A and B are shown apart, each in its own frame.
Chain A
Amino acid sequence: MELSGGQIVVQCLKDEGVEYLFGYPGGAVLHLYDAIFHQDDVKHILVRHEQAATHAADAYARATGKPGVVLVTSGPGATNAVTGIATAYMDSIPMVVISGQVPTAVIGSDAFQEVDMVGITRPCVKHNFLVKDVKDIAETMKKAFYIATTGRPGPVVVDIPKDITDPNVKVTYKYPKKVKIRSYSPATKGHPGQIKKAVDLLLHAHRPMIYSGGGVVLGEASAELTEMTRLLNYPITNTLMGLGAYPATDKQFVGMLGMHGTYEANLAMHESDVILAIGVRFDDRVTGKLAEFCPHAKIIHIDIDPASISKTVKVDIPIVGEVKLVLKQFLNEIKEHKKKPSKKALEAWWSQIEQWRDANCLEFDRDSEQIKPQAVVEELYKITKGEAYITSDVGQHQMYAAQFYHFDKPRRWINSGGLGTMGFGLPAAIGAKLAHPDADVACITGEASIQMCIQELATALQYNTPVKIINLNNRYMGMVRQWQEFSYESRYSQSYMDTIPDFVALAEAYGHVGIRVEKPEDVRPALEKAFALKDRTVFIDFMTDRTENVYPMIESGKGHQEMTLRVAPGTPLDRELA
């Protein structure tokens, strides 16, 4: 088959089985867009800003496990995509980003809309390529998908100069079935000797903890994790990225850990004697003060990325491998092992954990006359029966979502955990809805975050992706305000916006339904109404309590054992704002 470079790129996407291409046209990719015009197999989603293309593709990947694919033009198109690429990189999301580049002859001459995309993205991609010959496109695309989706996944950028896609230059096209990269061979099974040692240590534990993260979701190992955890009857905590990998409504689940994790999860980590860490990276928001992290524990760490092991916390038994395969090896080893967990020790451990649980650390004022953001998330959880795909932006609302929406299944919780990208939620909801058109999709956001990609309301209309936007509007950048309250004697420097748009009118202007909710008793009816409107995007603007804070909290630089729990109502802040 003789094809031009532009046609080859599109044909590669077809051959990869790509369903959606999220993008925005421009000069350097016009040949490519012309090739897109002549086919219907790969559906192009026109966003309103390149950042949104990357977030939507990223969420599509998170919701399906398939790689997200993006097409942007050179220069500003490419730089606008960088935030989304970095977001995907931090959370190890498989993504292929095709960026246009100025023609090869003028590269390096500061040509119109030229940036060194390969240079700019180098620190935030798994790998990137500059294609210099039309004959290299097919193999490069194959390599890009292979690298993005295998091992520890991540974004890969393919930068293609305009002349390489010239419609007048045609070459023979053949998409390689397989590609081998001599310098790249991701790990598969875990070392049997290490697994034996790990299982032995695990079964001798008196106060065991399973600490699992996003790697379990990415590695499709939820079933194995659940089976093993139940077999052992050990307590389990999930990271922000790992929520849903183990059913949150199960009694062995002690909640999320870390900065806004539960009292029971953090204290159990602190007191544990053996920790089995699975697909996690000991992020600073999880560990708190490193010197005080899990002082009594021996740590087993399973990860596909050797560089994740002993990066911040030195571990005792490292196991490099695919989490799904390694957990299967664990299961076999546990079943064959003569030693069984000490029933007596485990009973004592569980009774201790139950005591911590009784502190009811997530409790909030349910009788308030103001709308509590937690109550909104709780109602959302009930109305959607815990089955919705939930995306979020970044801040207090993100933490309320993580704490109060109990994810029982993986891939339902879609948020920017590593980079913490405000503006992620709305385009992510569009990507998730395209991936699962029959499922409920809600974006839990705040009035500050939503404005960072608000223009995507137009995309939601164009492609009929009826998502529900749950705007927890406290008229503050809530998390910034909370830190300023805690650490800067309530000097609320620039965490407040003087003019917040009328979101109801805004939603309507974009062709959607807008609802404003000001009273607690109206929360449920509003949500019911929104979800009954199956084919409409609904923006629900909840005017929430301005002073509400996220608890518990481990303040920056403190250890798990030093959590701040909710203070009694009637703090000076409340009075000041009343």
Chain B
Amino acid sequence: MRHIISILIENEAGALSRVAGLFSARGYNIESLTVAPTEDITLSRMTLVTRGNEEVIEQITKQLNKLIDIVKLIDLAETSHVERELMLVKVKTSIESREEIKRLSDIFRGKVIDVTNNSYVIEMTGASDKLDAFVNALDESSIIETVRSGPTSMSRGEHGLHL
């Protein structure tokens, strides 16, 4: 099952490699990993997407908690949460296809943020499966490149992951 683990970690050199190293050393898989400092600059927040059965996820969270640099973490799969991922897609456009691609992007609430004679860059946020759906809806041969941030996520309601 897919799990989103949200982590507060000391914003220190090497902290990220401790997490990445743990996953490779113990043979866990990382589907995506996103990290940036929080409003408290001593802390970074990391969102890690992984897959595994209950036992594996339990071990992953325990092993992560054991890392000295990790302050707190939560498995968001256990709670109701919102999830967003950012994607940029660069597509080839021609006189005939421009309108169609724009309409498609609108349907997915994307924004065209760069235009040339023969290309668009489309920005889109949403749950990962919505971004997948958009990519699938595009003509494969029109895609020049895509880049995705990996999901970021937090729980619903008044509670949150903080010190």
**Which residues of A does B touch, CB under 8 Å?**
118-119, 122-123, 126-127, 130, 147, 181-184, 305-307, 309-311, 314
Q: Is the CB of A183 within 8 A of B69?
A: yes
Q: Which residues of B contact A306 (CB under 8 A)?
A: 62, 65-66
Known A123-B21, A307-B63: A182·B68 in contact at CB below 8 Å: no
Q: Does B163 contact A (CB under 8 A)?
A: yes
Q: Within the complex, which residue of A118, A184, A307, A314 is in contact with B68, where a contact is CB–CB below 8 Å? A: A184
Contact A127 B68 (CB under 8 A): yes
- Find chain A residues with CB under 8 A from B70 CB: 183
Complex partner residue of B62 from A127, A184, A307, CB under 8 angstroms: A307
Given A122-B21, A183-B69: A130 and B13 within 8 A (CB)?
Answer: yes
List B residues 42-58 near A (Cβ within 8 Å).
55, 58
Return the CB mask of B76-97 against A: 1 if under 8 Å, else 0. 0000000000000000000000
Interface residues on B, range: 20 to 34
* The one of A118, A119, A182, A307 that contacts B163, using a Cβ cutoff of 8 Å: A182
CB-defined A-B contacts under 8 Å, sample of 11: A123-B21, A127-B68, A130-B13, A130-B14, A183-B71, A184-B68, A306-B62, A306-B65, A307-B59, A307-B63, A311-B59
Question: Which residues of B lie under 8 Å from residue A311 when comparing CB positions?
Answer: 59
B25 interface residue (CB < 8 Å to A): yes
In the complex, A100 Cα to B66 Cα: how many Å? 27
- Cβ of B58 to closest chain A Cβ, rounded Å: 7
Given A183-B68, A307-B62, A311-B59, 17 more contacts at CB 8 Å? Answer: A122-B14, A122-B18, A123-B21, A123-B25, A130-B13, A147-B68, A181-B68, A182-B71, A183-B10, A183-B69, A184-B68, A306-B62, A307-B59, A307-B63, A307-B65, A309-B62, A310-B59
Partner of B17, one of A119, A126, A184: A119
Chain B residues close to A by CB (< 8 Å): 10, 13-14, 17-18, 21, 25, 55, 58-59, 62-63, 65-66, 68-72, 163
Are B17 and A310 touching (Cβ within 8 A)? no
How far, in angstroms, from A184 to B14 measured CA to CA in the complex?
Answer: 17
User: Nearest A residue to B163 by beta-carbon distance?
Assistant: A182
Q: In the complex, which residue of chain B has the Cβ closest to the Cβ of A151?
A: B66
A321 to chain B, nearest CB (A): 15
In Å, the complex CA distance between A314 and B54 comes to 12
**Nearest CB of B to A547, in Å:** 39
Q: Tell me which residues across on chain B come within 8 A of A122, comparing CB atoms.
A: 14, 17-18, 21
CB contact under 8 A between A307 and B66, given known A130-B13, A183-B10, A183-B71: yes
CB contacts (< 8 Å) of A309 on chain B: these are 62
CA distance A314 to B59 in the complex (A): 11
Complex-state Cα separation, A184 to B17, whole angstroms:
19
Nearest chain A residue, comparing its CB with the CB of B63: A307
Asked if B63 and A118 sit within 8 Å, CB to CB, the answer is no
B14 contacts A118, C-beta separation under 8 Å:
yes
Provide the residues of chain A in CB contact with B163, threshold 8 Å. 182
Chain A, residue nearest B59 (CB): A311
**B20 (CB) vs chain A CBs: closest residue:** A122
The complex places the Cα of A183 from the Cα of B18 at a distance, in Å, of: 14
Interface centre among A122, A127, A311 (most CB of B within 10 A): A122
Chain A residue numbers with a CB within 8 Å of B17 are 119, 122
Q: Which residues of A contact B10 (CB under 8 A)?
A: 183
In the complex, A127→B63 CA distance in Å? 13
Residue of B nearest to A307 (CB): B62
> Complex: how many Å from CA A474 to CA B69?
48
